[in-house]
Amino acid sequence: MTGADPAQRLRVEVLGTEFLNAGVKRFTLRKPKGFAFTPGQGCMVALDQEGWRDQERPFTFTALPSARRLELIVKLYPDHHGVTWRLGTVGKGEHFLLGRPFGTIAYKGPGMFFAGGAGITPFLAILRQLHRDKALKGHTLVWSNRTAADVFLDAELGRMLHKHYLKTFTRENVIGFRDRRIDREDLVDLVRDFSQRFYLCGPQAFVEDLKAILLDLGATADSLVFET
């Protein structure tokens, strides 16, 4: 992943922060004038603090491009002292340095969105845009998390997608929850139409596994949309 040209980075103020669950934090940012992106895109982000300016990491914009503010939703990894550890302490009034928007995940037509954990972020922007455009019919979101406690923005997703919002858990171990990875059998059950688009985002193994199964079941390489 190439970093942004430091000279072209935009200094952007954090207007507010909020924990969406114990390990996921939302940042609301002042939007620079004329800043444009498409749903699914993100940018390299660094903290404008001594010792952190050259530590750039990719994050995805989750608010609508037309919104007055920018929004980032970040899964924190507090166990090692990386950028997301530091972001855990960042509050209102601090500043980020943003690179130019980039990303290969973009909306290409109706289909199924498969997200693993924080891999939901590009889909949030896309689904929110489709909702705004009253064009969500014919789309399904399948979101895999370790446990129910890892889910966030559950009510919003439920309101937008109703029965087309499906959650699955890999480590819940509670009766009543489906407790396993999405596998071939699930996809045979879930996917009725292999001519639709399949949007994949999450840990590399999650994306690779689903890609292989979908292709094997009849999806074409062209129908798969994922970060490259």
Footprint of ligand FAD (CB under 6 A)? 42, 57-60, 73-75, 77, 79-80, 82-85, 103, 118, 121, 227
CB of 138 to ligand FAD, least distance (A): 25
CA 174 to chain centre: 26
CB of 190 to ligand FAD, least distance (A): 25
Query: What six digits make up the tokens of 173?
Result: 């171990």
Identify which of residues 47 and 191 has a Cβ nearer to ligand FAD in the complex. 47
Please compute Rg for the chain using Cα positions.
18
Identify which of residues 57 and 181 has a Cβ nearer to ligand FAD in the complex. 57
Identify which of residues 19 and 85 has a Cβ nearer to ligand FAD in the complex. 85
CB of 13 to ligand FAD, least distance (A): 19
For residue 45, the one-letter residue type is: V
CB of 63 to ligand FAD, least distance (A): 12
CB of 186 to ligand FAD, least distance (A): 25
Identify which of residues 8 and 104 has a Cβ nearer to ligand FAD in the complex. 104
Identify which of residues 35 and 194 has a Cβ nearer to ligand FAD in the complex. 35
